[in-house]
């Protein structure tokens, strides 16, 4: 990675104020136009910008500045940094080798058949394909549908088993499988088991209560009849 000057204009301000370097030397070092450096010297540009000492930041040595002041044709060179910052690697989009691209339709067919819960974006992330291709394979409208054979993308090296398991797990959240649904139908809830048979028992209790009431009314009528005969 090429070295870059920190805050070029602020550095130019400092060099104009503190050295006898030519405008061309300062412009070349700070990647500015020499007329812009002249405007800084005349106070027409960079007003309010505080100069940045390149010696303090380790970008120039005092010996380099003195040598350039004595030779107007000499170009300033950036000092070698004492601390190297590792270059940040940009994460490139997923790349599928040309030799394996022909296997992607087979991998898509395998995923569609064995993991129907996977959505198109998930399949696209796993094997690096497009939504249009996935839809064509689902609808059997792909130009090579007759020759496609379902093949495990992990075996083909298009994705890892860990990534496949993660995508399947995400897609499976909240989905009730048929066997789980059948098991739930076979099992009764606690409230159902507690109330089991209570309907028949309640009906029997009602019949018993009705008979008891009828018997009580009959005995009360008999008592009233006996009392009337005695009074007569």
Helices marked H in 71-197 — which ranges? 98-101, 104-114, 120-127, 131-139, 153-156, 161-172, 178-186, 190-194
What DSSP character marks residue 31? Answer: T
CB–CB of 109/129 below 8 Å?
no
The owner of tokens 């696209």 is 124
**pLDDT for residue 1:** 42
**pLDDT for residue 102:** 77
- How distant is the alpha carbon of residue 88 from its chain centre? 21
Residue 94 neighbours by CB under 8 Å, 6+ apart: 125, 128
**pLDDT for residue 144:** 86
Radius of gyration of the chain (CA): 45
- Total residue count of the chain as it appears in this document: 232
**pLDDT for residue 177:** 56
> What contacts 24+ positions apart, CB below 8 Å, involve 118-125?
118/167, 118/168, 118/171, 119/171, 122/167, 122/170, 122/171, 125/94, 125/163, 125/167
In the structure encoding, which two tokens stand for residue 31, read together? 């990647």
For each of the chain's 232 residues, which pLDDT tens digit applies? 446 788 888 999 999 999 999 999 999 999 889 899 998 888 888 777 888 999 888 888 899 999 999 998 999 988 876 656 555 454 444 555 555 667 889 999 999 999 999 999 999 899 888 889 999 999 989 888 888 889 998 888 888 888 889 888 888 886 655 555 555 555 555 555 555 555 555 555 555 566 666 666 677 666 555 555 555 4
Helices marked H in the chain — which ranges? 8-18, 23-30, 34-41, 62-70, 98-101, 104-114, 120-127, 131-139, 153-156, 161-172, 178-186, 190-194, 198-231
The domain ranges of the chain are 8-70, 98-178
Q: Is 27 exposed, middle or buried (0-12, 13-18, 19+ CB in 10 A)?
A: buried
């Amino acid at each position: 990675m090429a070295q870059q000057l920190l805050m070029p204009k602020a550095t130019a301000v400092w060099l104009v104020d503190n050295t006898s370097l030519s405008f061309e030397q300062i412009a070349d070092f700070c990647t500015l136009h020499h007329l812009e450096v002249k405007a800084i010297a005349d106070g027409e540009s960079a007003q309010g910008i505080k100069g940045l000492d390149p010696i303090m930041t380790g970008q120039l040595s005092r010996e380099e500045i003195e040598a350039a002041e004595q030779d107007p044709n000499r170009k300033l060179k950036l000092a070698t940094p004492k601390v190297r910052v590792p270059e940040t690697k940009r994460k490139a989009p997923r790349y599928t080798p040309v030799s394996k691209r022909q296997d992607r339709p087979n991998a898509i067919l395998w995923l569609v058949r064995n993991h129907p819960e996977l959505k198109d974006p998930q399949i696209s992330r796993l094997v690096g394909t497009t939504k249009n291709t996935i839809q064509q394979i689902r609808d059997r409208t792909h130009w090579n549908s007759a020759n496609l054979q379902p093949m495990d993308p992990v075996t083909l090296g298009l994705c890892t088993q860990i990534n496949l398991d993660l995508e399947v797990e995400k897609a499976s959240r909240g989905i009730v499988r048929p066997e789980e649904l059948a098991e739930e139908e076979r099992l009764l809830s606690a409230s159902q088991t507690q109330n089991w048979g209570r309907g028949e028992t309640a009906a029997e209790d009602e019949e018993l209560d009705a008979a008891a009431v009828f018997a009580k009314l009959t005995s009360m009528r008999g008592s009233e009849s006996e009392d009337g005969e005695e009074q007569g």
